Chains A and B, each alone.
Chain A
Amino acid sequence: MTLSRSARWLLRGAMALGLAFIYLPLAIVLGNSFNADRTFAWPPVRWTTEWWVRAWDNAGAREALWTSVKAGLGATAIALLLGSLVAFAVQRYRFFGRGTVSLLVVLPIALPGIVTGIALDTAFRSVLAPLGIGKGLFSVIVGHATFCVVVVYNNVLARLGRLGGNLQEASADLGADGWQTFRYVTFPVLRSALLASALLAFGLSFDEIIVTTFTAGPGVQTLPIWIFSNLFRPNQAPVINVVAAVLIVASVVPIYLAQRISDTASGGRL
Chain B
Amino acid sequence: MLGRSADAAGADTARGPVRRLSAWLHRHAGVRLAALLAAPLFWLVVAYLGALAVLFVSALWTVNGFTGEVVRQPTLVNFRTIAADEVYRTVALRSVGVAAAVTVIDTLIALPMAFYMAKVARPRYRRWLVVAILTPLWASYLVKAYAWRVLLANGGPVDWLLGGPGSGPGYGLTATVLVLAYLWLPYMILPVYAGLERLPDSLLEASADLGARAGRTFRKVVLPVIVPSLIAGSIFTFSLSLGDYITVQIVGGKTQLIGNLVYANIGAANNLPFAAALATIPVLIMVVYLVAVRRSGALEEL
Contact = CB atoms under 8 A, between A and B. Distances in A.
Contacts of A8: 120
Contacts of B132: 19, 22
B174 to A, nearest CB: 16
Contacts of A126: 54
Contacts of A28: 147, 150-151, 157
B288 interface: no
B8 A42 contact: no
Given A29-B150, A105-B44, A114-B259, A247 B131 contact: no
Contacts of B41: 101
Interface residues of B, number: 99
Interface centre among B8, B18, B55, B133, by most A CB within 10 Å?
A: B55
Given A25-B144, A207-B141, A119 B51 contact: yes
Given A23-B136, A146-B47, A227-B146, A113 B243 contact: yes
Interface centre among A122, A228, A240, by most B CB within 10 Å?
A: A122
B155 interface: yes
A88 interface: yes
Interface stretch (B29-37, B78-86, B223-231): B29-37
A53 interface: no
A44 B136 CA distance: 25
Nearest to B43: A82
A23 B136 CA distance: 8
B138 A93 contact: no
A241 B129 CA distance: 27
B9 to A, nearest CB: 11
B214 interface: yes
Nearest to B26: A178
A1 B116 contact: no
A223 B142 CA distance: 10
Interface string B241-279: 011111000100000000100110010000010011001
Given A240-B146, A255-B131, A268 B137 contact: yes
A110 B131 contact: no
Q: Main SS of the interface on chain A?
A: helix
A199 B8 CA distance: 39
Given A89-B37, A118-B275, A255-B134, A247 B143 contact: yes
B127 interface: yes
Given A12-B116, A179-B22, A112 B282 contact: yes
A248 interface: yes
A14 interface: yes
Interface in A207-250: 207, 209-210, 214, 223-224, 227-228, 231, 240-241, 244, 247-248
B2 interface: no
A115 B55 contact: yes
Contact of A1 (B32, B44, B133, B201): B201
A268 B134 contact: yes
A32 B150 contact: yes
Nearest to B242: A112
A252 B137 CA distance: 10
A110 B246 contact: no
A153 to B, nearest CB: 9
B246 A209 contact: yes
A261 interface: no
A22 B22 contact: no
Contacts of B135: 251-252, 255
A104 to B, nearest CB: 5
Contacts of B131: 255, 259, 265
Contacts of B136: 22-23, 26, 251
Contacts of A29: 143, 146-147, 150
A267 interface: yes
Given A14-B112, A146-B43, A255-B131, 6 more contacts: A22-B133, A32-B150, A110-B286, A112-B282, A122-B51, A265-B126
Interface of B: 8, 15, 18-19, 22-23, 25-26, 29, 32-33, 36-37, 39-41, 43-45, 47-52, 54-55, 58, 109, 112-113, 115-117, 119-121, 126-127, 129-144, 146-151, 153, 155-157, 159-160, 182, 185-186, 190, 194, 201, 204-205, 207-208, 214, 217, 239, 242-246, 250, 259, 262-263, 266, 272, 275-276, 279, 282-283, 286, 290, 302
Q: Which 8 A-B pairs have the closest CB atoms?
A: A112-B243, A123-B51, A1-B204, A251-B138, A14-B112, A119-B51, A178-B22, A25-B147
13 contacts: A15-B129, A42-B160, A88-B36, A106-B302, A112-B286, A118-B262, A118-B266, A214-B266, A224-B140, A231-B250, A241-B146, A248-B139, A251-B136
